[in-house]
Structure 1
Amino acid sequence: MAGSGVSKAESSISEAVLSADAGNVQLQVFFIRHGQTDANLNHILQGQMDTTLNAEGERQAQKCNQVTLHEISFDLIYSSDLRRCIRTRDLAFANHIEVVRTDPIKLGRLLRTTQDFRERDCGEYQGREVSEVSREIQRKGLSWQDLLEPQDQFDARLDRGWTTFLAELVDLEMSTSTPPSKCKRAAIISHGGAISTLVAALVNKYKYTVSDAIPVSKIKGFSNTSITVVNISLNRYGKPCPGSIVVFNNVDHLSDFTAVENADQIIVDKAGRV
């Protein structure tokens, strides 16, 4: 089906999980953006700066665990190797990690970190306020593309990360005996611009379908610790079919949520093809 197709919308994370476990879905992927940082709050370009969560970001990740993730089984958890993503992973999946913490083999099978899921590199402009940088590039007659990691390199890096991740998840499905009522479930903890670019590639390049509640043009604006869920089935040869995005930018775990504009995603959207 074309990427502009539609699929059934799930009203909640729990409904998406129950539906996948009961239906013809072999793989389910959770995309989770890291928790809030001071740079997010102050509209600072982070890019690949190794910033940490602030107190609110820690609370967001803890709520992600306490309200949503703690009762859901996961077989594989990938993360960007930057500290804000690793800390989000450790808090949001605290229950899952604790179960295998004393077993290095099981812990190694569960967790992966990779540079492939880092945010787009902002070069020398990392650490500066986005409106200040915007005024400077206008004054110099430059474009955002002149300042950032080249689009084709960014796309290729994310595609490499996704291909590696999906191949490992498929291998898990094909090589282990899972009860037929359960699917293999995995998570990717990454950054706003990276997730928006990757999810848009799933739709535009890999022809994933999108819930009729999610306009394709709006696949951006991922909030801190937001959860986006993708269902993927395998064909009879064990190859993944184009999946469907069934939950988008869900922050139900944050009852007092207030959106904070993401400087990195602003410039990724301005410069890229998201």
Structure 2
Amino acid sequence: MEWGDPKFDESKNPNISHDAYQFGEIRALLGYFLLTVVVVVLLVEAIVWSLPHTISLQRERNWFSFVQTHFDEHKNFQKDEKLQKLANQLAPHMGLPENSITVYYNLDDTPNAFATFGGNIVMYRGLLSRLPNEESVATVLAHEMAHIKHRDPLRAMSRNLLYSMVAAMFGNDTQIQMLANMEGLRYSRELEYAADAAALDATQKHYGNTQGAHDLFAVLTQIEQEYGGNRIAWFSTHPATADRVQQIQQRALQLNYQQHQNVHENLWRK
């Protein structure tokens, strides 16, 4: 028979403090929580990143055919042959398939433009009528086409949906929803920088210079001032205009892009 010292659970000893055990449990819980958050974030980002590789633009176009139907039936949206022709000319420079982009001209005076599901782009009269030349119009159009190429509408929707589902699992009263929203804003600004770069590249290839981008941002700066001055970029889906200007200037300098006076008339001016 072997004899040994009896083992005693020190956590039950009333003569010593149990704070160390409690601290260890809290630290373990925090570790598991942080690990869960990291795994969830990596999983969401992996799904979003894979979307353009698993869902073709044509399939997306078929899924969201109702978007085009809505635009076709709405009196404020018109198909513009000149805008469509310009998009078709820019598409090869951006690696986009033929007939993958449909452009609509909106009669509203809001200074805006946006890309949405299925390769549909809306250009507003309120913005186009203020641009000084075709090159600046092409920069806006190429920017929105870049969102289509990068599949940003589909990726942003999927990303927001996935993070909202994760936040709902923890309850609406937690801070997770707020953190997800803030992360979504940062992500949106990154997409805008990437679209600006792609638009700059496309207009350089098409026109041989990037003055259109500089003319565009001069107008956007005026519009930003009219609508309340400088915004806090952290709370905006778009970066501050000054930051975007700095980004394109640096890119143009690095790639030795030309910049000279534009010569094409803006056919959409008032």
> Which structure would you say has the larger RCO, counting Cα contacts within 8 Å and 6 or more residues apart?
1
Q: Same fold by TM-score, threshold 0.5 exceeded? A: no
The structure richer in strand per residue is 1
The structure richer in helix per residue is 2
TM-score (norm 1): 0.31
TM-score (norm 2): 0.31
| Bigger radius of gyration | 2
